[in-house]
């Protein structure tokens, strides 16, 4: 292999490497990501039939928790599970049929309004729709 050929080979090789180094991130960039939308407005909270009446489930709404409640009447309701007092995650208390924040005993009704305790504002409530087998919670407005 003479000098000229070596340089050509070197040039071709490094050019190919550079092109690959460009294409790889570009292709990875174009391929769809796990989270498909920039602003999450809708999320599958649970599967149909997953929740027995008078039980609840914490689901992931973006990076914050939401709570899906199947009331004793079999009605589905969803709220942001972040307590408006100090951001603890709320739970559903089945024997009283209310939402309770265990940190400071803040209590909310099933419309998200404050019943008692320190929370200053109601819980943000979400729309609940059933789409096929999925229970979908979405932000209002």
Partner 1 sequence: MKARKMRKIINLLSIFFLAISIFSLSLYAQKNSCVECHQELEDELLAPVEAFKIDIHQQFGLSCADCHGGNPAEEDIDLAKDKTFKGAPQRFRIPEFCASCHSDSRYMRRFNPRIRVDQLDIYWTSKHGQLLKKGDTKVALCTDCHAAHGIQAATHPKSWTFPWNIPQTCSRCHSDTNYMKDYKIPTKQWDDYKDSVHAHALFEKKDLSAPVCNDCHGNHGATPPEVTSIAYICRQCHPSAGELFSQSPHKKAFDEMELSECEACHGNHKILPPSDEMLGTGEKAVCIQCHEPDSEPYQIASRIKEKLDAFIKKIRHAESLLEQADRQGVEVSEPKFMLTEANSTLIFVRNLTHSFSLMEIEEKIEEGKKVVAEVTNAGEAALREAKFRKTGLIIATCFIFLLSIALFLKIKQITKKTPNESP
Partner 2 sequence: MKNILQSIYFYLDTRFKLSDLIQFAKKKKVPEHKHSFWYYFGGICLFLFILQVLTGILLLLYYTPSVDSAHESIQFIMSQVKFGWLMRSVHSWSANILIAAIFIHMFSSFFLKAYRSPRELTWITGFFLLLIFLAFGFSGYLLPWNELSFFATRIGSDIAGTLPLIGNHIKTFILGGTDVTGATISRFFWLHIGILPLLTVMILGIHVLLVQILGMSKPIGIPENKVKEVPFFPNFILKDSLGWMLILALIGVLCVFFPWEIGQKADPFAATPIGIKPEWYFTFMFSTLKIIPAHIFSIEGEMIAIFGFMIGGLLWMLVPFLDRNAAKERRSPVFSFIGWVVLLYIVVMTAVTYLLPGL
Long-range contacts of 98-103 (CB under 8 A, 24+ apart): 99/67, 99/69, 99/123
In angstroms, what is the minimal distance from the CB of 18 to partner 1?
5
> Residue 2's binding partner, choosing from partner 1, partner 2, none, with beta-carbon cut-off 5 to 8 A by kind?
none
In angstroms, what is the minimal distance from the CB of 37 to partner 2?
8
The binder of partner 2 chosen from 1, 28, 52, 140 (CB under 8 A):
28
Question: Which SS3 state, helix, strand or coil, does residue 2 take?
Answer: coil
Q: Which residues, in sequence order, are CB contacts of 104 under 8 Å at separation 6+? A: 85, 86, 88, 117, 118
Q: What share of the chain is helix, strand, coil (3-state, %, to 5)?
A: 20, 35, 45
In angstroms, what is the minimal distance from the CB of 60 to partner 1?
5
Question: Is the CB of 7 or the CB of 130 nearer to partner 1?
Answer: 7
Instruction: Report the interface residues with partner 2, using CB under 8 A.
Output: 18, 25-26, 28-31, 33-35, 37-39
């Amino acid at each position: 292999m003479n000098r000229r050929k070596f340089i050509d080979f070197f040039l071709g090789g490094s050019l190919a490497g550079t092109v690959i180094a460009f294409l790889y991130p570009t292709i990875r960039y174009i391929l769809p990501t796990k989270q498909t939308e920039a602003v999450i407005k809708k999320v599958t909270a649970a599967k149909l039939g997953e929740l027995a009446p008078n039980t609840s489930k914490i689901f992931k709404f973006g990076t914050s928790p939401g709570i899906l409640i199947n009331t004793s009447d079999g009605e589905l309701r969803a709220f942001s599970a972040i307590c408006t007092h100090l951001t603890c995650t709320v739970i559903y208390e089945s024997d009283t049929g209310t939402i309770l924040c265990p940190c400071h005993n803040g209590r909310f009704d099933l419309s998200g309004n404050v019943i008692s305790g320190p929370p200053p504002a109601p819980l943000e409530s979400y729309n609940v729709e059933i789409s096929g087998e999925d229970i979908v919670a979405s932000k209002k407005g």
